[in-house]
Structure 1
């Protein structure tokens, strides 16, 4: 059975926990501290930052700015995990640009900070939380785009997505994370402006 550790107890962390539940995966949620707000529910294992990671897949469901603090606790532990980066590094003070380097992505920058050979996959950043919770986007099945350089890691992520009843589409190597972040940026901005709904988003039709 797949096991997944989700670092972060916010809206996206909760949405991915729902995905994992539909996929019959065991779920561990790591909170910032024992007093961090989160909706506790039965069947989940809860821990605080610094506790050991029990999942084979580890989702970083926190802003990219929080990554250095996470790596202080978990850098070596992540060596043998599949690390899923869901971040969209938007400058929320202006809503005008991505904060990642122009020729890179948060996923690529994260891979540089982890032990060599650590499998990083960019996934879920193009999906708004509600479409993950319901598994649908409007009248279509939710599609999750992902990118990475390690075949075994991409297979594990695709299996999780498909076991949750959604469509998994491989966007290519980790270099494609830059384009996925641009898509996530556009989608969030359009929802913030009221041009689309947070309950929907981009859909990839077959």
Structure 2
């Protein structure tokens, strides 16, 4: 049975923890506030703890905003070595909401990989709104999670849990594709903020 640690109890963290439990994984939820972690963990039978506790999962989902990635990489250091570490952030410039704050030839996921060199970093979930992960569908089709990463076995480990939960997975290739995924995630957020789509909508991938 796959073990997954989700760090963060926002909408995305709770949605992903629920998907992981539905996919048959054992789930650990960590947050800065143990009461929030316990509240999120209760309904799905997950284990709750605080940031800084030992990581139980072989997959670690960093369900936190972009600025928190470097801090978590520093907190956990070598504990991330060998782990499948999933980045779902969109590094948006929220001061202007007019672009990404990472260099044009990089991505949040690439920066995370550089700060946690032993981790098997995967980009995933950043083009999904939480509501479509919870419902498991978008436009009458199963929700598709687009992923990118340099380690095929890491991507397969995550994909197996998602497929078991009833979702679809689209492998976009190497971690270099995280840049395009982050741009797509940003554009989807812009459409939602401009009320061109709802937060229950978004981009769908159909075969």
Q: Name the TM-score class by shorter chain.
A: over 0.9
Is the counterpart of residue 176 in structure 1 residue 177 in structure 2? yes
Q: Secondary structure at the match of 1:97?
A: coil
Work out whether residues 75 and 115 of structure 1, in 8 Å CA contact, stay in contact via their aligned partners in 2: no
Q: Is the 8 A contact 1:76 1:115 kept in 2?
A: no
Distance 1:4 1:61 in 2: 12
**Consecutive unaligned residues in structure 2, runs of 5 or more:** none
Matched ranges for 1:28-43 at <5 A: 28-34=28-34, 36=36, 38-42=39-43, 43=45
SS in 2 for 1:172: coil
Deviations 1:43-83 (A, max 9, x none): 11001011000001000000110122212221210002100
Corresponding position of 1:129: 130
Cα distance in 1, alignment partners of residues 84 and 11 from structure 2? 21
Describe the shift of the 1:179–1:197 C-alpha distance in structure 2 as closer, same or farther (beyond 3 A).
same
Name the structure 2 match of 1:24: 24
The answer to whether structure 1 residue 119 and structure 2 residue 116 are counterparts is no
Q: Residues of 2 paired with 1:159 and 1:35: CA distance?
A: 30
2:105 equivalent in structure 1: 103
SS at match of 2:97: coil
Residue 56 of structure 2: aligned partner: 54
Moved over 4 A (4+): 35-38
Q: 1:73 to 1:66 in 2, by over 3 A?
A: same
Larger helix percent: 2
Distance across 1 between alignment mates of 2:41 and 2:164: 23
Match of 1:70 in 2: 72
Rounded to whole Å, the distance in 1 between the matches of 2:87 and 2:79 is 16
Show the counterpart of 2:189. Answer: 188
Are 1:28 and 1:54, in contact at CA under 8 Å, matched by a contact in 2? yes
Structure 1 length-normalised TM: 0.95
Instruction: Normalising by structure 2, report the TM-score.
Output: 0.95
Q: Which runs of 5+ in 1 are unaligned?
A: none
Alignment correspondent of 1:45: 47
Shift of 1:39: 3.6
Aligned equivalents of 1:165, 1:34: Cα separation in 2: 30
Q: What is the Cα-based RMSD across aligned positions, in Å?
A: 1.3
Does the 8 Å CA contact 1:144/1:169 hold for their aligned counterparts? yes
Deviation at 1:115, TM superposition (A): 2.8
